[in-house]
Amino acid sequence: MVGNWKMNGNLRENAELLAKVVAGWQGEHSAEVVICPPFPYLMHANSVLSGSTILLGAQTVSEHDSGAYTGEVSGSMLADLDCKFVIIGHNERRRMRSETDEQVAHQFAAVQRAGLIPILCVGESLQDREQGRHLETISRQLSAVFAYTGKAVFKHAVLAYEPVWAVGTGKTATPEQAEEVHRFMRAQLEELASEVRILYGGSVKAHNAQQLFALPDIDGALLGGASLDADEFLAICKAAD
């Protein structure tokens, strides 16, 4: 379960949210939980989460390792702050920051060079979906990374399917729609098909999580809005457990 806080929170709210989540997630669990706060709060979140089983992740990364890249954050900086995962290729960045498939491939490699695990997001627009081109889009987004890194490195990666039209809209993909894409993504991984975790993201809430987790090719969820509410987030994590 990955909570992507996006650009939300402040020190006071984060402290409260993290304390509730840590308190509600004591002991042993089969589900792995990751929280991805905005960059300025990683250090604080790291200190609150230390001693818990909840892992830390970041929301994006530079494709470069160091140098004159004002405003950018490198994989090694994230590793320094105990991040274990980095979300890359999120549709909000592909659309609003014009990140290309090639840039995403370079970011994927940068995350792995830093010893971290990329969570590679792919997903089609509403137009692609309506025109029946969703699998074509997913295939293009995945192929750009495969072409740059090869497939073997996906052994140390997580994939996430986030249909753009389902993110933050309250509209979830139907189980059939989600399962079709997840099965397709798994098939693209060939020999690694059974080893790579594929998450679903897009308006996952406590009331629809169970139904999605019951699908054979869905291994977990990438949560936006639901990760900002401790009770909702914990209910979903427990459903996954």
Active-site positions read 90, 162
Q: Does 49 bind ligand 13P (CB under 6 A)?
A: no
Task: Specify the DSSP class assigned to residue 231.
Answer: H
Of the residues 17, 202, 213, 239, which one makes contact with ligand 13P according to CB under 6 A: 202
Joined together, the tokens standing for residue 203 give: 């308006």
Binding segment (CB under 6 A) for ligand 13P, from list 62-70, 138-146, 147-155, 161-169 = 161-169
DSSP assignment string, 6-47: -S---HHHHHHHHHHHHHHT-S--SS--EEE--GGGHHHHHH
Q: Does 222 bind ligand 13P (CB under 6 A)?
A: yes
Q: Does 220 bind ligand 13P (CB under 6 A)?
A: no
Gap between the Cα atoms of 232 and 221, Å rounded: 13
* Residue 194: count of CB within 10 angstroms of its CB: 7
Strand pairing of 158-161 and 83-88? unpaired
Of the residues 179, 203, 219, 220, which one makes contact with ligand 13P according to CB under 6 A: 203
Q: Does 61 bind ligand 13P (CB under 6 A)?
A: no
**Per rule CB under 6 A, count of chain residues that contact ligand 13P:** 14
User: Minimum Å distance from CB 227 to ligand 13P?
Assistant: 7
Tell which residue, 124, 137, 108, has the closest CA to residue 173: 124
Binding segment (CB under 6 A) for ligand 13P, from list 16-24, 38-46, 143-151, 202-210 = 202-210
Task: List the Cα angle 163/168/171 in 5-degree steps.
Answer: 65
Based on CB atoms, which residue is closest to ligand 13P, 78 or 167? 167
Gap between the Cα atoms of 116 and 119, Å rounded: 10
Of the residues 224, 232, 237, 240, which one makes contact with ligand 13P according to CB under 6 A: 224
Gap between the Cα atoms of 123 and 163, Å rounded: 4
Binding segment (CB under 6 A) for ligand 13P, from list 43-51, 132-140, 146-154, 199-207 = 199-207
The angle that helices 175-188 and 206-213 make with each other, rounded to 10 degrees, is 50
User: Minimum Å distance from CB 67 to ligand 13P?
Assistant: 29
User: Minimum Å distance from CB 152 to ligand 13P?
Assistant: 26
Binding residues for ligand 13P (CB under 6 A): 4, 90, 162, 167-168, 201-204, 222-226
